[in-house]
Structure 1
Amino acid sequence: MKNIYLIGIGPGNKDYLTIQAIETIKKVDVFLLLEKGERKDTDLLGLRKEILENHLKPGAYRVVTKRMPVRKRGRPAYHEEVAKWRGEVADTIGEFIENDLRDGQNGGILVWGDPALYDGHLEMLRELSRKIRFSYEAVPGISSIQVLAARHKIPLNRISEPILITTARHLKEYDPAEIKNMIVVLDSHASFKNIDDDDIDIYWGGYLGSEDEILLSGRLKDIKEEIKKAIMEAKRRKGWIMDSYILRRRMNE
């Protein structure tokens, strides 16, 4: 039977690759690299290829690169559009399994961060396994939010405190007064800019774990303009940014 490994590779630093991820990479015969055709692909595709070159001998593996279907953004039917796009990506992976893997071979997909956190590959493979015959496994990776907390030298939660993890798209749905300890991912548009609250701190990070890493923190009301400028400058320089941040209400002294 053909097998697929979803391998979490962390947010971009080669040192964040786990021993399990390295050992799994060595088991893979053919890797599927999906590219979006965007400017950041040059950087992100290069990082994935560098990981393979660092841990595998030339000729010990094969790489298949396919263009990832483009999701149309800004449409009101968000869930329907994402479901449609995921179906198209799953079809692309299905073509790889059927055409580029022989029976008994292992295929590998390198996933940023951790495959279980805001990544659709596990759901896509589950649906795909109902259509074609193959097995799959997930290898956990270090997530960007773990790196964010470590780099700011703070825990993800305080004593007896829950954590809410959400996307920037949903941030506007929350009353700022309700924010206690919120982790926001998939932003890049400074969605925190409309929050006006004297008692919220922000711990922000861009390009976490990479040579271009940017870290800023402080009272949100005082530092949000500086973070906005940092995001704009980073986009101007590189053409893209991946960032995440923690919004945390100050404890009563």
Structure 2
Amino acid sequence: MIELALIGIGTGSPGHLTREGIAAMANADLILIPAKGEDKADLAELRLALCRDALVSPPPLAIFDMPQRGAANGYRQGVEEWHDAIAARWEQVIRDHGAMRPALLVWGDPSLYDSTLRIAGRVAHRLPMRVKVIPGITAIQALCAAHTIPLNAVAAPVLITTGRQIRDHGWPGTAERLVVMLDGECSFRHLDPQGVHIWWGAFLGMPNQILISGPLSEVADRIHETRATARAEHGWIMDIYLLDRCPSP
């Protein structure tokens, strides 16, 4: 029986690896390293660096090209086909190396707005395999720690959503605090900024970490410009933000 370990690595900082995660990496007989094209080469290099820094003797590392997501048949269908293609790629790499304890390093937490578990489920239908998840530091934890703020207001709930939902549907219901993930378009610009405070962060926990916070009406343009500049410089960006809709005076 193959055992695939999905190891949370936080937002890429070596400090976000847990002891359990390092032990799982050391126990693996193969670590899969997805490559996402030349403009995102840093993502693969970060995973390679984590392996070098965390392990005295890393297991074999299998770098493979990630399939591209299509949109010809609509967003949802494109995602389903993309996941099928990724699962087929994982399966081929595992078979080619004869791995029984493969591992994959996962940004953030595999349970939260991430499709790694769904893709692993597809592979498990094709191979005699079970999946183990080793959680790491989530992007939400890293954001709050970087800004030294609590996630929630006193005795209040927090809603976790995506940029797509904010863009298409606006501020959700009566929620006062939102964590917004997977927002490549700075969708907060579609919201009425009156009375809204934002805490934004990119490359959290890394040497090039960027933090901006303040009233949305004052910092929205600066975040948008800063994000665009950083993405152009690095070829990729991982960011997240927290919004608070303060009651009007």
Other-structure match for 2:196: 200
Quote the residue 1:20 is aligned against.
20
Distance in 1 separating the partners of 2:234 and 2:32: 25
**Mapped partners of 2:56, 2:38: distance in 1:** 29
Note if contact 1:176-1:197 (Cα within 8 Å) is conserved in structure 2.
no
Secondary structure at the counterpart of residue 184 of structure 1: strand
Q: Give CA deviations for 1:175-212 in whole Å, capped at 9, x if unaligned.
A: 44845111111113221112223111111011111111
- Equivalents in 2 of 1:2, 1:226: separation in Å? 48
Counterpart contact for 2:7–2:106, Cα < 8 Å: yes
Matched residue SS, 1:142: coil
Q: Mark the CA change 1:108 to 1:176 in structure 2 (over 3 Å): closer, same or farther.
A: closer
Amino acid at match of 2:55: L
Q: Indicate the residue corresponding to 2:6 in structure 1.
A: 6
CA contact (8 A) 2:25 2:31 kept: no
The answer for unaligned runs of 5 or more in structure 1 is none
Q: Against the structure 1 CA distance between its residues 177 and 99, is the aligned structure 2 distance closer, same or farther, given a 3 Å change threshold?
A: closer
Distance 1:230 1:174, change over 3 A: same
Quote the residue 2:106 is aligned against: 111
2:43 is equivalent to residue 47 of structure 1:
no
In the alignment, is the contact (CA less than 8 A) between 1:6 and 1:137 conserved in 2? yes
> 1:178-193 residue pairs with structure 2 within 5 A?
178=173, 179-193=175-189
Structure 2 residue matching 1:54: 3-state secondary structure: helix
Conservation of the 8 A alpha-carbon contact between 2:40 and 2:235? yes
Which of 63, 69, 76 does residue 65 from structure 1 map onto? 63
In structure 2, the partner of 1:213 is: 209
* Structure 1 position 14, deviation (Å): 0.6
**d(CA) in 2 for partners of 1:110 and 1:236?**
25
The TM-score normalised by the length of structure 1 is 0.91
Structure 2 segments unaligned to the other structure (5+ residues): none
Kindly tell me: are residues 130 and 240 of structure 1, through their superposed partners in 2, closer, same or farther at Cα, counting changes over 3 Å?
A: closer
1:230 aligned residue: 226
Once the two structures are superposed, the pairs formed by residues 129-148 of structure 1 within 5 Å of their partners are 129-148=124-143
Distance 1:197 1:190 in 2: 13
Residue 143 (structure 1) shift: 1.0
For 1:150 and 1:174, locate their aligned partners in 2 and report how far apart those are by CA, in whole Å: 29
**Separation in 2, partners of 1:215, 1:67:** 32
Aligned length: 248
Aligned residue in 2 for 1:95:
92
State the alpha-carbon separation in 2 of the partners of residues 139 and 108 from structure 1. Answer: 10
